[in-house]
Amino acid sequence: MIDAVKAGTQTAPFFQPRMPRTGAPLSVVMSNFGSLGWVTDKDRGYRYEPTHPTTGTPWPPLPNLLTRLWKDVTDWHDQPEACLINWYRESVGKDGAKMGMHVDSDELALNAPVVSISLGDPAMFRIGGPKRGGPTQGVKVMSGDVVILAGAARQCHHSVSKVYYGESALVPKGGRINLTMRRVHP
């Protein structure tokens, strides 16, 4: 999978998106596989686009190994349309990159599962309930772990509160890569 990420980001390089309200950069850099890619910026907010925001070229296709994984771990009839590639780098800020509590809700297919694959350094994945601010439970996800948010869990808030940098040599230049496959349209 890491070889697929390296190949994909040759044609769709990592970029740093910005928060819609504040314009502040996200702490992760990202790219995408698939017919659609998730992007955000201050002017147009969160959305899916068919092309890379800086190169203007289509995203690289979803690698076969990811489509096979989707089939193996979900019973969803349609293939994912987007696969976010988030790179959590240590060199970002005091504690490195993180992802705040959120619900994946930019898709029209809100009942479709979200499949997330961890590569590289371990991370603390936290999941709460459907309302922000409630109690959460954490699990340390390791390289190769797959998390599936389906059913009621699909609408639960979740985050990456910590990355344990330096525990894996898989990701060139260090850190953690997270691949998140999503179905956008019903």
Say how far apart CA 75 and CA 18 lie, in whole Å: 34
> What is this structure's pTM?
0.91
Per-residue model confidence as pLDDT tens digits over 133-173: 888 999 999 999 999 999 989 888 888 999 999 999 999 88
pLDDT of 41 reads 79
CATH number of the domain at 2-182, out of 2.60.40.10, 3.30.1360.120, 2.60.120.590, 1.10.287.3510?
2.60.120.590
Per-residue model confidence as pLDDT tens digits over 50-98: 999 999 999 999 999 999 999 999 999 999 999 999 999 987 656 778 7
Domain locations along the chain: 2-182
Q: Which of 12-16, 20-24, 112-116 has the lowest mean pLDDT?
A: 20-24
pLDDT of 170 reads 95
Say how far apart CA 109 and CA 153 lie, in whole Å: 14
- In this structure, is the dihedral angle defined by the CA atoms of residues 3, 109, 148 and 40, taken in order, positive or negative? positive
